[in-house]
Amino acid sequence: MKTLKRILLVEDNLKDVDLTLAALADHNLANEVVVARDGAEALDYLYARGAFAGRDPGPPAVMLLDIKMPKVNGLEVLRAIKSDPALRTLPVVMLTSSREEPDLAESYSLGANAYVVKPVDFLQFVEAVKQLGVFWAVLNEPPPGTAHR
């Protein structure tokens, strides 16, 4: 069986974190999920600094990124990592409530790899998160140099 790769979940809303984790756990995909509560924390993790200095080395297999967050929002995080040659290859999935076209357009133009609108329906939400987890943390071959644990 394929090993689960690490998922970075960037989400400010605790309830959404709980639901996402529950959905991932439901399908045994939750054992390697790192949660960052805003954009600043996400960047700290990626650059292994601040609270995340001395974490397990290597980038995650995928980052699930909310857009609307305090301090540094999702689009700013996206811009930061896509303009950094060391992090540019990290797959980023926008996972957001916003269906607004400007968000979609800007995400893709900044280099997002996918854009998923969180469904209101819990069953659909669970299904969406499961598929994301299976695809990015199991099926997808990450770029070379990404953590394989």
Partner 1 sequence: MKFSLRDVPIRRKLMGALLLTSVTVMLLMRGSFFTYEYLNFRSNTARQLGVMGRMIAANSTAALAFENEPDAREILSALRVEPQVTAAALYTADGRLFTSFAAPDRASPLPASPGETGFRFTGARLAGFQPVLNDQRRLGTLYLEYDTGPVMRTWLRDSVTIALAVMGVVLVVAYLLARALQRQISAPIVDLARTAQAVSERGDYSVRALPAGGGEIRQLTDAFNQMLTQIEALNRELERRVAARTAELEIANKELEAFSYSVSHDLRAPLRHIDGFAGLLVKADGERVSERGRKYLATIASSARQMGTLIDDLLVFSRMGRSEMTFRDVDLRQLVDEEIRTLQAQNPDRRIRWDIGPLPVVPGDRPMLRQVLVNLLANAVKYTGPRDPAEISVGARPDGAGKVVVHVRDNGVGFDMQYADKLFGVFQRLHRAEEFEGTGIGLANVRRIVSRHGGETWAEAAVGAGATFFFSLPLSRPALS
* 133-to-31, 43, 67, 122 alpha-carbon distances in Å: 11, 21, 19, 16
Nearer to partner 1 (CB atom), residue 18 or residue 84? 18
In the complex, what is the shortest distance from the CB of residue 114 to partner 1, in angstroms, rounded to a whole number? 19
Per CB under 8 A, residues contacting partner 1 are: 13, 15-16, 19, 22, 67-68, 96-100, 118-123, 125-126
In the complex, what is the shortest distance from the CB of residue 19 to partner 1, in angstroms, rounded to a whole number? 4
Nearer to partner 1 (CB atom), residue 90 or residue 94? 94
Nearer to partner 1 (CB atom), residue 98 or residue 146? 98
In the complex, what is the shortest distance from the CB of residue 41 to partner 1, in angstroms, rounded to a whole number? 19
Nearer to partner 1 (CB atom), residue 2 or residue 15? 15
In the complex, what is the shortest distance from the CB of residue 98 to partner 1, in angstroms, rounded to a whole number? 5
Alpha-carbon gap, residue 116 to 129, rounded angstroms: 9
